[in-house]
Chains A and B, each alone.
Chain A
Amino acid sequence: MKKIGLIIGAIVVLVSCKKEYDTPPLTPIPETPAITIDSLRDWQNSIGGLISIDQELSVHGIITMDETDGNIYKNVYLQDATGAINVRILSGGGLYQGDSVRVYLKGTVLNKYNGILQLDSVDVDNNVVKLDSDVDFAPLVTTIDQITPAIESQLVKLENVQFVAYEIGNTYADKDGLQSVNILLEDCSGNTIIVRTSGYASFADELIASGNGSLTAIASHFNGTELQLYIRAFDEINMTGARCPGIVFTKTFDDDLLLSGGWQEIKVTGTTAWETSSAGGAATPYAAISNWNGSVNVLTENWLISPSIDLTPYGAPTLSFDNAKNYSGPGFRSFDLDKLC
């Protein structure tokens, strides 16, 4: 029986001997000369269009926003001392906020999309070398009025900002319909900027912050006109302080509806009507009126009137609006509000 035991033992040992696989020899991503992000921007600006990079070049930078919270998909933001760029990756994932990376540019594509410089067709496995991780990267502390297309794709932090009062109670985006939503952020000086959030973001169905505080985000824009912010993480919305009055009431005509929100139109003289329009390449619709009927100017008095607004809680309310005129004749004239009431 001893022998049998030995045989069994030997068999069990044999079977338990599993082969360990060795790590195969790997070819590293080539070392190359470096190029800065502003040089990439200049390069694209000078040639225009799509540039398929076949040079031995690399760009270094820190990943400032990743896909973890779902607000962006298959792209990340990369920033160095000279600027920032949107990096579009072939398959989602693999790059995280705080990664210090070298992107090997050969095989990638430099492009501008909706006015934003982007590095396209980046294969995270084959184009990216991670040099370090969890690197602290301080955002640019700035104010809403300082945000311009010049700091495109950079990480910014805004202090003492709040979402406009009439959006409170809404969510950051439409999670059920998976639609992106624009929400207006304001400071206490009447400046505003759009915060755009994807319906796929993990926080899309959260109620927007109702207080005043700080927000860290990526600055962006749409073709140089509409400025936008992208929230990179839900826990970077720190807006729990007391609100300043901010915008009490607004009408943007973005919905392309003249009278939505309780507005009314009163024609005193003539039949000329107010209408919404996007003529002139406006990013969003506006309201317009013209008394030119095609051959003559028709005498017109037509009021576009807001619903009544209770301003009692506010100390010194102000009214502001954008306006423009075309053709000859007197321009904008201000009326004394009190006298109108």
Chain B
Amino acid sequence: MIRYLSATCLFLCLNGTLTAQITTETEPKEKEDSLSPNEAVFITSLDELDNNGGDQNTSGLLQSSRDVFASAAGFNFSAARFRIRGYNSDQTAILINGVPMNDPESGWGEWFMWGGLNDVTRYSETKNWLTSNQYHFGGIGGYSNINMRATNIRAGHRLSYAMTNRAYRHRLMYTYGTGMQSNGWAFAISVSARYAQEGYIDGTFYEAFSYYLAAEKKINDNQSLSFSVIGAPTRQGRQNISIQEAYDLSGDIYYNSNWGYQTLADGTRIKRNSRVQTTHMPIAILTHDWKISSNAKLTTSGYVTFGKSGQTALNWNDDKDPRPDYYKYLPSYYENIGDSVNADVMYSNWQSEASRQVDWDQLYFANSKNIHTVKDVNGVAGNDLEGLRAKYIVENLWNNQISGGFGSTYNRKMNKLNLSMGVYAQMQQNHYFKTVEDLLGADYWLDVDQFAEQAFVDPNAAQNDLQTPNRVVYKGDIFGYNYNIVNIKSELFAQAEYSTEKFDFYGALELSNKMFWREGLYQTGRFPDNSLGKSETHNFFNYAVKGGAVYKLSGRQFITVNAAYLTQAPSSRNAYLSPRTRDFVAGNLKNETIYTGDVNYIVRYPKLRMRLTYYYTERKDAILLRSFYHDDYNALVNYMMEGVDYLDHGIEFGIDANVIGGFSVNAVAAYGQHLYNSRPTATISVDNSAEVLATDRVIYLTNYKIGGMPQSAYSLGVKYTGKKYWFAGANFNYYADIYLDPNPDRRTEEALEGYVDTDPQVNEVLDQTKLDNGYSVSMFAGKSFKISNYFLNVNVNISNLTNNQSFVTGGFEQLRYDTQNIGKFPPKLGYMYGLNYFVMATLRF
């Protein structure tokens, strides 16, 4: 083992200098932001993790039961948002019954669609690295194939209850499978409920149900047909991260600005969350399995999914920002301008819980007196309406999908050769729009753009929908923006695997085509010629090749190499400059290029399992779109970077060794460098203005670290497996080199205008924030009992056993900044949860 470790050291000398060549000039600039809710740029709050696989009992992306590195990394590193090889979920293919299910609009794997169905998804086949794959070309981050056929659920009943203190508190799950019956039918059902009146974070709640229904019919000895439906209707009150000052003032590192008290008619006060996520996207899939001969099979599936995904938020017009951690409500804002009187007022506001949270009663109060007349409602002259015009509302931002797909895979075994071929197609429409969720006591909301109203003489400019000007909207009505994004993707795949005594080889090819367009349902006043109707179709042809070899040193030791080269279409989610109001796309919309490879040394003895890997990945010409709310425009500002290159390389090491008896030790190390690797150019636009704030702005981003995850992570653990069906273990985990993702605009020539190289501010503006390294201790234990024909399993796992509450796991630099005083707009930070547990009892019968 020592030898393996020293081999690691060779790779530890990966060099990387933080260099950003920048010349000087710029006037001080201020930008205000908060991340837009519908941009999946980074995980902005901790609870998303819980939803997406942070819970080790969920089938998360990081899990793989067989690989010693991936399983331990998944279990131990998720609390710190570790990402294997630095990849997002768009680089991992998610398959159901062999059909690709990644959202073609974003590229992401949408695990929330089947959240809570752990009994179904637990045994998904997952590989987290470059590998051969008999279902599909897969991603460079591997694949995960979930088998949803009824026969995948083992015959019998399974009832489990879990208690936890994470995003939810209770989970009840029941699963029943008939197995293949003599009449040729198999049925399976799984239902679960997850619930928290209040989760780990104040003001959050969780109400989720999940269902899975499957039927499988054996047509004859060689053919069967499966039909499965899954869905997970979920409502969740969400968490928001803040700046350190807000944590200090509230005395709570888990301070959540999303909620506030609302008084009921009887005088009691309830906690209400302004950001509630509602999702329900059922999937129905029909699969035909055909065993053509003893060594050939054809698997064909078709699926449809449709449903809704909404996230509420406060919206306001002609009044104060209702968000309690808005920068002008913080003492530091006034201290910076030398106004100690207001600084004191703000300080005392933060001392009371009610006034540092959303003041719902005040929002109702403001609405209760705002009598207003709207003239020419809906564009009808003389059609005037008088009533209470809402200053504040809760709106719901929807991304509703209709999607359908098809996949057919042919696998043939010949002596030493395995052939796989597949054809796939996916079509998806994402409908983006807003609705009025709650008028907060007012009579109506007027659907005009406040900023445009003040900025332009033309009264049409303020109209969000020119087809119905001066539109008055009520609860449930669509307003603001309304458009579809349609994606059509088709793929062809072929793979050959060849085995000899000493070597295994594989090679695979994929050809694909992707097209997308925008279809505007509103004619926006600011962009009357570029908003309504179908936009230009953007079409991309792509190809991908990969190959690999395994050299068998012995039956227990292997050296493997893998390499891939692929081009990848830009995702439509990143391609549009400002899709809410117009159909403009990036100036130079083109395919990304990825090349990647890894070398692995794998050991598999009964008492010793080990993997040591070096991987290298470059991704070129990506588009990165970040949006943030800018209060001067009362709208989203879109920061689009083109030509973003990424470099990820590093070492993965995992070992699991049985020392003596039931006692084993395991260690995992992921040492990596995840960097930006180019100077992208940025275009900055505002949703509600034709004015482009900047074009072709050069971002000096080379060698800045990709933030929001530890670049490196380590874990050391012990496990004891007892003879009487019990086990227990603990791990110490260490996370290193965590950076905040850089605000691109700070790394520009413009940001440094007015400074000379020797000014101390230059480094303040340029330097990337590095967070302290952190650690956590996790523990798990389980025991199984057999009572007549009943099997009872009890499992406990505890994360952050030492209740370490000083570990900042991530955050982001605000896009708002002041070059003269970088500390004025500090980054938003998120802390790791304190001690949290998951206790589950499962009864099988």
Contact = CB atoms under 8 A, between A and B. Distances in A.
Given A21-B262, A69-B454, A8 B319 contact: no
B317 interface: yes
A11 B371 contact: no
Nearest to B318: A93
Interface in A67-103: 67-70, 91-94, 96, 98-99
Contacts of B362: 125
Interface residues of A, number: 44
B320 interface: yes
A314 B364 CA distance: 64
A206 interface: yes
Given A24-B264, A134-B373, A234 B457 contact: yes
Contacts of A94: 318-319, 366, 370, 391
Interface in B366-380: 366, 368-373, 375
A26 B375 contact: no
Interface residues of B, number: 47
28 contacts: A8-B213, A15-B233, A18-B235, A21-B262, A21-B438, A22-B264, A24-B265, A24-B360, A24-B361, A25-B267, A26-B365, A68-B453, A68-B454, A70-B455, A93-B450, A94-B318, A94-B319, A94-B391, A96-B372, A124-B319, A125-B319, A125-B365, A128-B369, A130-B369, A131-B371, A134-B372, A134-B375, A202-B453
B209 A92 contact: no
A38 interface: no
B232 to A, nearest CB: 10
Contacts of A1: 187
Nearest to A125: B366
B375 to A, nearest CB: 7
A25 B263 contact: yes
A132 interface: yes
Given A26-B365, A125-B365, A134-B375, A4 B233 contact: no
A70 B280 contact: no
Contacts of B391: 94, 125
Contacts of A295: none
Interface string A1-37: 1001001100110111010011111110100000000
Contact of B320 (A16, A91, A234): A91
A133 interface: yes
B364 to A, nearest CB: 6
Contact of A14 (B209, B373, B440): B209
B479 interface: no
Interface of B: 187, 189, 191, 193, 207, 209, 211, 213, 233-235, 262-265, 267, 272, 280, 317-320, 360-362, 364-366, 368-373, 375, 384, 386, 391, 438, 440-441, 450, 453-457
A274 B640 CA distance: 59
B456 A202 contact: yes
A16 B231 CA distance: 14
Counting chain B CB atoms within 10 Å of each CB, the highest count among A12, A26, A68 belongs to A26
Interface of A: 1, 4, 7-8, 11-12, 14-16, 18, 21-27, 29, 67-70, 91-94, 96, 98-99, 124-126, 128-134, 200, 202-203, 206, 234
Task: List 8 tightest A-B contacts by C-beta distance, closest first.
Answer: A93-B318, A134-B373, A15-B233, A24-B263, A125-B366, A130-B371, A70-B454, A133-B373
Contacts of B365: 26-27, 125-126
B264 A93 contact: no
Contacts of A131: 371
B454 A133 contact: no
Nearest to B262: A24
Nearest to B368: A26
B785 to A, nearest CB: 28
Contacts of B187: 1
Contacts of A69: 454
Counting chain A CB atoms within 10 Å of each CB, the highest count among B234, B360, B368 belongs to B368
Counting chain A CB atoms within 10 Å of each CB, the highest count among B207, B272, B371, B386 belongs to B371
Contacts of B280: 15
B369 A129 contact: yes
A132 B371 contact: yes
A202 B272 contact: no
Given A23-B364, A69-B454, A91-B320, A11 B209 contact: yes
Given A25-B267, A94-B318, A202-B453, 8 more contacts: A8-B213, A15-B209, A15-B233, A21-B272, A23-B440, A98-B373, A124-B319, A131-B371
Nearest to B269: A24
B319 A91 contact: yes
Contacts of B375: 134
A126 B372 CA distance: 17
B125 to A, nearest CB: 27
A25 to B, nearest CB: 6
A5 to B, nearest CB: 9
Contacts of A7: 191, 211
Given A11-B233, A21-B272, A24-B361, A133 B386 contact: yes
A122 to B, nearest CB: 13
Counting chain B CB atoms within 10 Å of each CB, the highest count among A12, A15, A25 belongs to A15
B319 A93 contact: yes
Contacts of B189: 4
Nearest to B267: A25
Contacts of A92: 318
Nearest to A129: B369
A137 to B, nearest CB: 14
Contact of B265 (A18, A22, A124): A22
Contacts of B272: 21
Contacts of A4: 189, 213
A14 B235 CA distance: 11
Contacts of B361: 24, 26
B113 to A, nearest CB: 15
Nearest to A94: B318
A132 B384 CA distance: 14
A7 B174 CA distance: 12
A25 B454 CA distance: 34
A133 B263 contact: no
A168 B266 CA distance: 65
Contacts of A22: 264-265
